[in-house]
Chains A and B, each alone.
Chain A
Amino acid sequence: MGRRRVSNNGILQGSFFMDGDTACAEGAICAGCRFFGGYPITPATEIAERMARRLPQVGGTYIQMEDEIASISAVLGASWAGTRAMTATSGPGFSLMMENLGLGIITETPCVLVNVQRGGPSTGMPTLVGQGDMMQARWGSHGPYETIALSPGSPQELFDLTIRAFNLAEKYRTPVLVMTDEAVGHMTERVVIPPLEEIEYYARRKPQVPPNGYLPYRPDPDGVPPMACAGEGYRIHVTGLTHNEKGYPDTVSVETQQKLVERLIRKIRANQDDIIELREDQVEEADVVVVAYGISARTAARPVRMAREMGLKVGLLKLVTVWPFAEERIRELAPKVEGFVVPEINMGQIAQEVERCAGGQAQTILVPHAGGGLHHPNDVLEAIKRVTSPQSTSAETSP
């Protein structure tokens, strides 16, 4: 164990043995998060508990709201007060948050929402792992939009990606989802917290014009508008209705709707090179590429190694950013490989995206898991072998 210390400003630094949920909270504090509104839910409760203890030590505010609807509402409000704010939940709470996730998207409110996924549907398996909310992360709130979702596979990654989530949220003025899971949240490992000065901090983009010349929703060239907050003298009007650049409702104009929706999507898609983070292991020379994320990318390492020991050319493509989806990379690889294998702890969500982007040029084999446990290495290995065996046929993504 390296040196551990708490600096005068209450920020940890050094090497620690901590679970993923705690690492997430510490990452948030290092990222400058000073407001947490939450509601206890297994397996995300430890994040709330850690924040309740830690935020007062760094001058922040913790509040336990009456439900997850209120939690995300308070997070949005705190962000508009100029604070970096977050909440953390699991499936049932994530469902309740979908309404105001949409408000965060249309009002372009930077904030971070952590989902420590568990087995579903409904109350499901509160204490056990799942990855069944990945499509909900993409489409869960109504209406057309684009989203950013990151998927950590270890406590260290949960720490790192929570920080990244805050920076992406500020940079692109949107709620960012950290889609982790029970296995990572409750796994205890070494987490290294670097000195604060080495941690990236993307400051909120503020208006460069006086209040009378400010249009709250006039974007900079990258599609992101500078953000004035409440109490700064800009007299902003912010609404969940379709609005023009002034922020005023314009609910009967198809043009205003189109302009707004296209910009909300474009500001993320046009910057996907910056947002999408992938980790690749021997993908270039592979015949089979295992595409995985979160804990499933970690458990895929062993069957990939086993397959390589059998002489198969297998690569591992880890989606650190799940949304926006790595379409270009899958399209690039599809003609070069025989197939993709997608293990995920659901009955086929990201596998469908892989299959869509493969466009029939390579087969896609889903390795489903209903939840409550991790994939057995043999299940993934068998799928890899199926791709490379001569009898293998076309795409199979249905379980």
Chain B
Amino acid sequence: MVDELTDVLISKHHPMDKLLRQDRLPHIWCSGCGLGTVLTCFVSALEKLDLDMDQVVVVSGIGCTGRAAGYLNLDGFHTTHGRAIPFATGLKLGNPELKVVVISGDGDLMAIGGNHFIHAARRNMDLTVICVNNFNYGMTSGQLAPTTPTNARTSTSPYGNAEHPFNVPYLAAATGATYVARWTVLHVRRLERSIIEAMNKRGFSVVEVISPCPTYYGRWNKMGSALEQMKYYHDKSTIRHWSDPAQADIGLEGQIIVGRFVDIDKPTFCDLLQGADQ
């Protein structure tokens, strides 16, 4: 009787088991990190998408976020630092039937991979990019990133960052992305919906996810525990759909403008290539 009840009350399977590599878990991410939430939102988005999962491919670069590809029970490629997007470009052009998603971090996509990001956006390559932005390089213990807010401290900006950061949605929109959204890991339902919209979008779609790194960025900048950072997201996030992403800069402890900024239609690289053939 007790056993029967246990069977009912305690599930032996997680509802997302089918799409996760159970033999790779537990993951390596720190407690309080937002990446687990991003992964969950991605998996729940996949479950709601009408796609053949054998045709969904996840490509990542290097870093904490780069490990996401390894936890998903999909075809996954963990490439070199910054090169996820051009690798994904080759996958997509080699087999246009594939649904190719790049999941990587701000350092990987915006610094060493910045050139690839803007050119894939310019071409309107049919890819979805989920850029998890924790404002620093977490994997190597918290160094300056091109997204680190001015004056923020990291292990390589110990006196405060003297650089201006990239505003990811603004860069994506300016260089040609057809879908651009930003959410924090607090906005799980909206994030999931944006991932669905991005993956249904033909063209270069970008979803930036602001995510806490309490272990490094949070500690260097006295932002408190992960919970306190979530409270910060709650207090300082403003949803402003369709607003000009140029106005969506993120400062140290400043407000975070979130929402869907861009959703336009224009021919993809493959569309134009086929047109050029005729």
Which residues does A use to contact B, with CB under 8 Å?
A: 35, 37, 56, 61, 63, 65-67, 69-71, 73-83, 85, 99-100, 102-103, 229-241, 248-249
Contact = CB atoms under 8 A, between A and B. Distances in A.
B contact face: mostly helix, strand, loop, or mixed: helix
A248 B94 contact: no
B89 A81 contact: no
Given A235-B54, A248-B70, A77 B75 contact: no
Given A248-B24, A248-B70, A230 B119 contact: no
B170 to A, nearest CB: 20
Interface string B40-55: 0000000000000011
Nearest to B54: A233
Interface in B7-38: 21, 23-24
Interface centre among B23, B69, B73, B75 (most CB of A within 10 A): B75
B83 A83 contact: no
Q: Say what secondary structure dominates the interface of chain A.
A: mixed
Contacts of B226: none
A231 B75 contact: yes
Nearest to B75: A230
Nearest to A243: B78
Given A67-B115, A82-B95, A231-B97, A241 B90 contact: no
A56 B275 CA distance: 11
Contacts, number: 138
B54 A74 contact: no
B78 A237 contact: yes
Contacts of B70: 237, 239, 248-249
Given A70-B119, A241-B78, A61 B93 contact: yes
26 contacts: A56-B273, A56-B277, A66-B86, A66-B116, A69-B116, A70-B83, A70-B89, A71-B86, A73-B86, A73-B89, A73-B116, A76-B79, A77-B93, A80-B91, A81-B91, A99-B80, A103-B79, A103-B80, A231-B55, A231-B75, A235-B74, A235-B75, A238-B77, A239-B78, A241-B78, A248-B70
Given A82-B94, A231-B55, A237-B70, A100 B80 contact: yes
Contacts of B220: none
B57 interface: yes
Contacts of A65: 86, 89, 119
Given A35-B93, A80-B90, 13 more contacts: A37-B86, A61-B94, A69-B116, A70-B116, A73-B79, A75-B90, A80-B77, A85-B94, A99-B83, A230-B91, A240-B78, A240-B79, A241-B78
Interface of B: 21, 23-24, 54-55, 57, 59, 69-70, 73-80, 83, 86-95, 97-98, 115-116, 119, 269, 273, 276-277
Contacts of A71: 86
Contacts of B87: 73-74, 76-77
Contact of A77 (B24, B89, B269): B89
**Chain A CB within 10 Å — which of B21, B76, B277 has the most?**
B76
Task: In the A-B complex, list the 4 residue pairs whose CB atoms are closest, starting with the nearest.
Answer: A77-B90, A81-B94, A74-B90, A78-B94
